[in-house]
Structure 1
């Protein structure tokens, strides 16, 4: 009887450890959150962005690509967010290596937000981004407050409320 009880206890402890390791994992906490956002400056034929010039504004920094269906899925809500909340600067950094594909996409989709192409993925590397879309929220003081992995509905009440309280 006691042997059976010990075996059952070991099973429960093993299950608890397994749940602690994977069951409650919601992803790695980005190391940059609550720290100063990496600054960058980029200029190319599609536009230019100097992140330091956005100090005093909330910035939604989105990394995307034209070949990424989830990225394309969320772009309309990023544009709507920019329209609804002009106090928020939405910056979309394309990681497309193919400049022509990027230019065609811009011509076909008429994006009404600030976008630049970083074909060498220099900026996304600074942020540790490798899955697209990934988006960072930077507060008025240049502090990275939040990271979103995957497509979001940027006009959802939760996100709009969060941004309005920064």
Structure 2
């Protein structure tokens, strides 16, 4: 009986290794693992919050409309840098979709990718996401530059970065919703 158990554990281990080696299954497994380990993002203490000094940033919407980030000064803004090929980015998208559905009328959302519009549009359609996708057309404002995907910033009405999260997170958490509600009430 003990030999039988050892054989099963070896078979399961081989299946897991094969699943990670085969390119078609690697990405879905990575997305699943990222969803499992994603937690609610932490709020930065008030004394340590960086401030956006300049809102001079031009973006292009998926329909090619030009958008000035400065038009959103004085509002609560969420900026997410992501890519369609990034498993942690994909893992957090469903939680962003839920948050967007509940807060899109009060919070300005920017999902920014350097990929071409058609690639992003195809991804959004395939996953049934309605998130507003943008492409940067000018240099980023100073505190928003990160070389890691995904990176997300939650900015208050005064331009302070309340949350700076590198890596995936559970954005549809009660903690995040409470933070958004507090920022909107100010």
| TM-score (normalised: structure 1) | 0.68
More strand per residue: 1 or 2? 1
- Cα distance in structure 2, aligned partners of 1:103 and 1:112: 10
CA pair 52-121 structure 1, distance change in 2 beyond 3 A: closer
Structure number, greater radius of gyration:
1
RMSD of Structure 2 on Structure 1 (CA): 2.7
Contact 2:92 2:168 in 1 (8 A): yes
Deviation of 1:104 (Å) = 2.2
Counterpart position of 1:81: 99
Higher share of residues assigned helix: 2
Q: How far is 1:125 from its partner?
A: 7.8
- Contact 1:92–1:116 (CA under 8 A) maintained in structure 2: yes
- Aligned length in residues: 134
Query: 1:131 aligns to what SS in structure 2?
Result: coil
Structure 2 gaps, min length 5: 1-44
Please identify, of 106-115 and 73-82, the stretch whose mean Cα deviation from structure 2 is larger: 106-115
What TM-score, normalized to structure 2?
0.61
Inter-CA distance 37–112: structure 2 relative to 1 (3 Å threshold): farther
- 8 Å CA contact retained: 1:74, 1:153: yes
Provide Cα deviations, 1:18-61, integer angstroms capped at 9, x if missing partner: xxxxxxxxxxx9xx933125421122554443221122321110
Name segments (4+ residues, structure 1) moved above 4 Å.
Answer: none
Instruction: Give CA deviations for 1:45-99 in whole Å, capped at 9, x if unaligned.
Output: 5444322112232111000000001101111111211111231222100132x55
Structure 1 unpaired stretches of 5+:
1-28
What CA distance in whole angstroms lies between the structure 2 residues aligned with 1:114 and 1:74?
15
Matching residue within 53, 70, 81 for 1:52: 70
Give yes or no for contact 2:61–2:67 (8 Å, CA) kept in 1: no
- Please say if 1:62 is aligned against 2:62: no
**In structure 2, how many angstroms separate the alpha carbons of the residues matched to 1:44 and 1:84?**
21
